[in-house]
Amino acid sequence: MSTAKVEIQLSSEELLKAVEQLNQPDLERFVSQVLALQAQRKASSLPQTEAELLLKINQGIPSDTQNHYNELLSKREAENITSNEYRELLNLTEQIEKLQAQRIEYLAELARLRGISLIALMGNLGIQTQMYV
C-alpha cells in the first residue's frame, strides 16, 4: 500500500468513518498502533516500572502471527486443514497462549504495584475478559 502525506483536520467521528473502511489486517495493525500510542502517552506520566509494564501489556500478538493463526483456524473450521497445517496451528496456539500468560503476569505485577486486584486493574485499563463456552 502506497501512502502520501496530507495534512487535514478531522473530527474523531470523521476519523472513525475513515477507519471503518480499512480491511481487517489493516484495522488490526491500526488498532495495535493506537494502543501503543496510548500506552506511550500514559507511560510518560507514570513511574518507570509501571510505564514499562504498560508497554509490555499493550504489545499484543504480532499481526502476521495473528493473521496466520486466523487462516489456520478457518481451514480447521472448514475441515480443510492438512496434518502439517494442523501441527502448525497447535504450535501457534501454544505460542499465543504463552504470550497471553506473560501478559497476565505483567497485569498481575502492575496490579500489585498499584495495590488493587487484577480484576479492578483490568477494569481501569478497559481490558475485558473473554468468556469461553
| H or E segment and range at residue 112 | helix 83-114
Instruction: Judge whether 130 lies within some domain.
Output: no
pLDDT-based confidence at 133, cuts 50/70/90?
Answer: very low
CB contact burial 34-61 (16+ within 10 A = b; e otherwise): eeeeebeeebeeeeeebbebbebbbbbb
User: Is pLDDT of 26 > 90?
Assistant: no
* Residues 6+ away with beta carbon under 8 Å from 16: none
Instruction: Judge whether 131 lies within some domain.
Output: no
- Domain range for 77 is 20-121
Instruction: Judge whether 9 lies within some domain.
Output: no
Query: Whose CA is closest to 86, among 70, 100, 99, 75?
Result: 75
Instruction: Judge whether 97 lies within some domain.
Output: yes
pLDDT in tens, 53-107: 988 998 888 889 999 999 999 999 999 999 999 999 999 999 999 999 999 999 9
Instruction: Judge whether 38 lies within some domain.
Output: yes
Instruction: Judge whether 5 lies within some domain.
Output: no
Instruction: Judge whether 48 lies within some domain.
Output: yes
Instruction: Judge whether 3 lies within some domain.
Output: no
Residue 121's pLDDT is 92
When divided into structural domains, the chain yields a total of: 1
Residue 124's pLDDT is 87
Separation CA 45–CA 101 (nearest Å): 27
Q: Which of 18-22, 82-86, 108-112 has the lowest mean pLDDT?
A: 18-22
User: Is pLDDT of 8 > 60?
Assistant: yes
